[in-house]
Structure 1
Amino acid sequence: MANWPRGYGLISEVNSRINKKYSFELEQEARQWMEAVLQRPLVEGEDSDTPLGEEKFQAALKDGVLLCELMNTLKPGAIKKIHRVASGSFKQFRDMENIENFLNAIVAYGVAVTDKFGTANLTDRNNGMAIVLNCIHAVGRAAQKNGFEGPTLGPKESQYNPRNFDEETLHAGQKMIGLQYGYTQGASQKGMNFGKTRSITD
């Protein structure tokens, strides 16, 4: 596991700014949605109405198992194998493989590549959990778009909806002068008076 510096220079400043974006409200929405989809708590014994906080939330997700199970619930068979190694010298590699499988599966599910987080964002928490939260919310939106009938998270994404007009309608539109071009349907300033006119006398 990489040992990222946290206390000096640009890295510290960037991490500080990202950490400030962490939202307990977004965490609660994501957590409660995941628990409803998986039908079990993310962390046993924790009150579901109280935010876990960044460290506990990361600890619950960092092995990638819950994320893979979430994806397989949304789309059965999306991830063929989930590594559930409890400990050992290869555990961190298994965890990273779970997370990578999850990230590949969500892209295939319709989540934009720009909404993905990096594996190290979760395993090392070097850039905070705000990026991970954004990704989970993106998965929730994609689930609605793909017709998942279970619990929902966030608003439904808009869909591509092209307009197709026939040639006659297109030609009719070209003959119209839009008001944004300044056409006022023949209006003029004739007869308008803006106060007393200036008189010039000898």
Structure 2
Amino acid sequence: MSTKKISDFDSKEIIFYAERIATNMTEMSWNDSVKIVLSVCCDSPTLFPEIKSWSSNEDYITKWLKKYFGGYNNRPSKRISKKIGTVSDEIIDTILSVRLPTLSTDGINHIKDAHRLSMSAENILGLLLEEYIAENLSFYGWYCAWGATTNKVDFCTKKGDLLQVKNRSNSENSSSSSVRKGTPIRKWHRVNAKNGVYYWKELN
């Protein structure tokens, strides 16, 4: 099975196959948004994500579409988050009781539960931000690459403008930052992690 990218194939052929595949699958709906994101990838093949174990161009396109619509159909507003499945470390109780000796066992449990809930919320915040921006920017011709269907790019336009979105200034790893070097990919983050300043004006 090949792990190469689909850049060897003609862009018109890719769009043709994609529309045909999406039209014949109930969980997919061919529209301008998916067409533009796919077309931008065709124009800049390095944006195509690596998809392992595909055997033909049609197979790759099918898996790419499943990634896109999987991301869209399971966006935060359309799914129910799972309950936290891990167990808290008992040593946390000891540390909290030393720091806050007047706190009751119930109080310690409330702190731990609130902390775990806060961490869970932070984990989905980036996805919520992405959905919020997608809802508000589509009118201006910016489309979300749902399901990580473009390499390190979250939004694009028909003209090929590329945008990478982060929730906080410290939420980017080295691989995300290195991919922009020598490319037209722009980056925006919602809030400065050090001082709490928001950057909505810059996004506008």
Instruction: Give the TM-score range, shorter chain.
Output: under 0.3
Q: Flag the structure with larger Rg.
A: 1
- Normalising by structure 2, report the TM-score: 0.28
Q: Which has the higher strand share?
A: 2
